[in-house]
Amino acid sequence: MEMIEAVFTGSLLFSCQVAMGAWGLGYDGASQKKARTLSSQSTKRKTMKGELTAIVKKDGDWWLGWIEEIPGANAQERTKDELLLSLREAVIDILELRAEEAYKHADKDFETIPLAL
């Protein structure tokens, strides 16, 4: 399994993992078991650091990506760097929209409490 990590400074950190075998490049049962073990370990580690997982792959001339932990956070770009930037922006947009919706539903007389993961 080839592991690629990209870390962004700022409010969000991404641990980008590329499992080359999962897209037909030498993928076998042993690799699958190792990938699950690494993913499980990495999920525990990421949660403690506040990181998200970007699942990325090259498809022809395009890079495609999804954020594992946030439904609807996905993007398509010509380069991997552009893709990672678009994914970061998608996450920020989705979280801002969900925050607006939460405040709207809470109406008034509420409090906000930061949660550490």
What would the two tokens of residue 39 be?
């993913």
**Cβ–Cβ contacts within 10 Å for residue 75, how many?**
21
Q: Which of 42, 30, 29 is nearest to 3 (CA)?
A: 42
Bridge-based pairing state of the strands 51-59 and 74-77: unpaired
Q: What are residue 58's DSSP bridge partners?
A: 63
> Residue 26's domain is classified under what CATH number?
3.30.160
Domain count across the chain: 1
Residue 21 domain-assigned (yes or no): yes
Asked if residues 98 and 114 have their Cβ atoms less than 8 Å apart, the reply is no
Domain presence at residue 81: yes
**What is the extent of the structural domain holding 87?**
13-106
Query: 40 in a domain, yes or no?
Result: yes
Q: Is residue 79 one of the residues assigned to a domain?
A: yes
Cα dihedral sign for 68, 73, 79, 80? negative
The answer as to whether 6 is a domain residue is no
Query: pLDDT (tens digit, 9 = 90+) per residue, 36-57?
Result: 445 555 555 554 567 999 999 9
pLDDT tens sequence across 78-116? 999 999 999 999 999 999 999 999 999 999 999 999 988
Across-strand partners of 75? 65
